[in-house]
């Protein structure tokens, strides 16, 4: 009888442990959400306990939704482009409305690149500071496959491309490469470019704490991990005596297509550019776990404390009336379970009741 009672108590404790909020295991846990789930509405997310951690300032480095024009949103810390070369705003043909698009009339011989770039020195953020975490999110659509040297994302020192350190993602060959940084880095993605298809890309990085070829990188496309530093890549973003890189070009189209000569035959579009100096973020997904979410829309935080987050809701391409899930990811890249909401609806969501898988937790 005593043994039976002990077994019952043991099973009860196990069940209770399963029902504990996710925060009890070190990941964020959502207690409730409230608001209206449509673009531009304010939504509040409340934590179970104080599991969200801190994010200060709450605003991202950059948020450029291209809803009404080319300029970045005031919801980000950088609100003007430091450079705009051969990229225009178009009111249709984007991920969910407007978009940034390469200018058809620009030619390789006259310009060389099409780019939207920001300078971050004014807010004290440099992509390759020792130990620096960064997160870049964007939708991208390319309308060609014949370019042999397309660089689709660049990070560098402002105004110093030819002689300074820089990091580029060469889309045509599918690799991350560094230039003028020792030791050199080459990290192959092993994925062919997609033509005329929107791709949601996420770049999660952390510069090594002491330089050298041990920086952290994860490159995601449509919710799938394409390549990471944990898969044999040796990533070196800051060599000995390296300088801080303060120029980020999340919309970058280097070396126009070699056969056509103009951007009319090498169209590229970007939408919802988001850059931040932390991994802490909020994502809207199409599954109850972040790992299973193949459709992801970034949300824009306007306030953030350990117990509560306020966001400007971004519906993206989720249709009204459909089910979606809100996730909080903390500064260590640990994700909450998904809280179920209805797009276009209001009121409280349905929080998860059991722990769910998290993304990788990387701490240097």
Among the three residues 276, 308, 333, which one is the final residue of a domain in this structure?
Answer: 276
Provide the token pair at 298: 């970034």
Same domain, 315 and 263: no
Q: Are 318 and 355 in contact (CB under 8 A)?
A: no
Evaluate whether residue 4 is within a structural domain: no
The predicted pLDDT at position 347 comes to 74
The predicted pLDDT at position 234 comes to 75
Angstrom distance (rounded) from CA 267 to CA 271: 14
The predicted pLDDT at position 362 comes to 34
Share of the chain above pLDDT 90, in %: 53
Closest Cα to residue 169, out of 135, 133, 219, 212? 219
Its pTM stands at 0.87
Domain, as residue range, for 144: 62-276
For the cut 60, the answer to whether the pLDDT of residue 18 exceeds it is no
Same domain, 91 and 108: yes
Residue 326 binned pLDDT confidence (cut-offs 50, 70, 90): very high
Mean pLDDT over 197-216 rounds to: 88
The predicted pLDDT at position 169 comes to 81
For the cut 60, the answer to whether the pLDDT of residue 10 exceeds it is no
Weakest mean pLDDT among 65-74, 139-148, 243-252: 139-148
Closest Cα to residue 53, out of 238, 259, 282? 282
Evaluate whether residue 210 is within a structural domain: yes
Q: Provide the total of helices (H) and of strands (E) in the chain, helices listed first.
A: 1, 22
Angstrom distance (rounded) from CA 21 to CA 23: 5
Residue 244 binned pLDDT confidence (cut-offs 50, 70, 90): confident
Mean pLDDT of the chain: 83
C-alpha 108, offset from chain centre: 29
The predicted pLDDT at position 255 comes to 64
Strand 87-90 relative to strand 99-102, pairing: antiparallel
Provide the token pair at 15: 């069940």
Angstrom distance (rounded) from CA 45 to CA 104: 43
C-alpha distances out from residue 286 to 49, 81, 101, 290, 315, Å: 26, 32, 27, 8, 12
Residue 190 binned pLDDT confidence (cut-offs 50, 70, 90): low
Evaluate whether residue 364 is within a structural domain: no
Angstrom distance (rounded) from CA 178 to CA 323: 42
Residue 186 binned pLDDT confidence (cut-offs 50, 70, 90): confident
Same domain, 212 and 232: yes
CATH code at position 47 = 2.60.40.10
The predicted pLDDT at position 22 comes to 39
CATH code at position 272 = 2.60.120.200
Q: What is the DSSP string of 115-131?
A: EEEEE-GGGT--TTSTT
Closest Cα to residue 131, out of 184, 60, 187, 210? 210
The predicted pLDDT at position 223 comes to 95
DSSP secondary structure code for residue 56 in this structure: S
Evaluate whether residue 10 is within a structural domain: no
Report the SS3 class of residue 32: strand
Evaluate whether residue 224 is within a structural domain: yes
Same domain, 98 and 208: yes
Angstrom distance (rounded) from CA 158 to CA 141: 26
Residues contacting residue 125 through CB under 8 Å, at least 6 positions apart: 61, 132, 246, 277
Angstrom distance (rounded) from CA 45 to CA 68: 27
Same domain, 141 and 89: yes
For the cut 50, the answer to whether the pLDDT of residue 214 exceeds it is yes
Number of neighbouring beta carbons within 10 Å of residue 153: 23
Q: Are 42 and 34 in contact (CB under 8 A)?
A: no
Residue 189 binned pLDDT confidence (cut-offs 50, 70, 90): low
For the cut 50, the answer to whether the pLDDT of residue 16 exceeds it is no
Residue 170 binned pLDDT confidence (cut-offs 50, 70, 90): confident
Provide the token pair at 60: 């991202």
Higher-pLDDT residue of 278 and 351 is 278
Same domain, 285 and 271: no
Same domain, 148 and 190: yes
Among the three residues 249, 276, 303, which one is the final residue of a domain in this structure?
Answer: 276
Phi/psi at 270 (5° precision)? -135, 150
Q: Are 268 and 93 in contact (CB under 8 A)?
A: no
Residue 28 binned pLDDT confidence (cut-offs 50, 70, 90): very high
Evaluate whether residue 204 is within a structural domain: yes
The predicted pLDDT at position 240 comes to 62
Same domain, 298 and 154: no
Share of the chain above pLDDT 70, in %: 79
Evaluate whether residue 153 is within a structural domain: yes
The predicted pLDDT at position 172 comes to 64
Same domain, 243 and 196: yes
Same domain, 125 and 194: yes
Among the three residues 276, 304, 322, which one is the final residue of a domain in this structure?
Answer: 276
Same domain, 203 and 128: yes
β-sheet bridge partners, residue 273: 64
Provide the token pair at 193: 């470019």
Same domain, 50 and 185: no
State pLDDT tens for residues 285-322.
Answer: 999 999 999 999 999 999 999 999 999 999 999 999 99
The predicted pLDDT at position 196 comes to 85
Higher-pLDDT residue of 19 and 30 is 30
Mean pLDDT over 91-107 rounds to: 90
Q: Are 34 and 308 in contact (CB under 8 A)?
A: no
Angstrom distance (rounded) from CA 107 to CA 123: 34
Per the structure, how many domains does the chain have? 2
The predicted pLDDT at position 260 comes to 52
The predicted pLDDT at position 162 comes to 56
Angstrom distance (rounded) from CA 269 to CA 271: 7
Angstrom distance (rounded) from CA 115 to CA 152: 9
For the cut 70, the answer to whether the pLDDT of residue 215 exceeds it is yes
The predicted pLDDT at position 297 comes to 98
Mean pLDDT over 100-121 rounds to: 81
Evaluate whether residue 3 is within a structural domain: no
């Amino acid at each position: 009888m005593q043994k039976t009672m002990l077994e019952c108590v043991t099973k009860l404790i196990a069940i209770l442990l399963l029902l504990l909020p996710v925060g009890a295991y070190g990941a964020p846990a959502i207690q409730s959400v409230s608001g209206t789930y449509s673009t531009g509405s304010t939504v509040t997310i409340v934590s179970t306990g104080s599991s969200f951690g801190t994010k200060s300032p709450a605003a991202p480095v950059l948020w450029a939704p291209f809803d009404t024009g080319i300029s970045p949103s005031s919801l980000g810390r950088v609100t003007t482009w430091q450079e705009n070369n051969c990229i225009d705003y178009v009111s249709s043909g984007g991920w969910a409305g407007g978009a940034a698009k390469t200018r058809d009339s620009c030619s390789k011989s006259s310009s060389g690149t099409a780019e939207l770039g920001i300078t971050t020195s004014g807010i004290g953020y440099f992509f390759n500071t020792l130990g620096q975490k960064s997160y870049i999110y964007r939708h991208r659509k390319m309308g060609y496959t014949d370019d042999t040297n397309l660089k689709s994302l660049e990070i560098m020192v402002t105004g110093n491309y030819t002689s300074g350190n820089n990091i580029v993602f060469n889309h045509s060959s599918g690799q991350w490469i560094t230039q003028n940084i020792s030791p050199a880095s080459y990290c192959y993605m092993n994925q062919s470019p997609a033509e005329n298809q929107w791709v949601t890309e996420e770049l999660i990085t952390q510069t090594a704490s002491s330089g050298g070829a041990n920086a952290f990188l994860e490159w995601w496309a449509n919710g799938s991990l394409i390549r990471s530093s944990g898969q044999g890549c040796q990533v070196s973003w800051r060599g000995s005596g390296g300088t801080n890189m303060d120029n980020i070009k999340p919309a970058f189209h280097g070396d126009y297509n070699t056969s056509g000569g103009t951007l009319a035959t090498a169209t590229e579009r970007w939408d919802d550019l988001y850059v931040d100096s932390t991994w802490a973020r909020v994502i809207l997904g199409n599954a109850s776990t972040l790992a299973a979410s193949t459709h992801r829309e970034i949300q824009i935080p306007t306030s953030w404390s350990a117990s509560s987050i306020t966001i400007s809701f971004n519906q993206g391409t989720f249709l009204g009336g459909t089910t979606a899930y809100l996730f909080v990811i903390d500064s260590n890249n640990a994700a909450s379970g998904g809280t179920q909401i209805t797009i276009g609806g209001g009121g409280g969501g349905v929080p998860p009741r059991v722990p769910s898988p998290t993304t990788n937790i990387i701490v240097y």
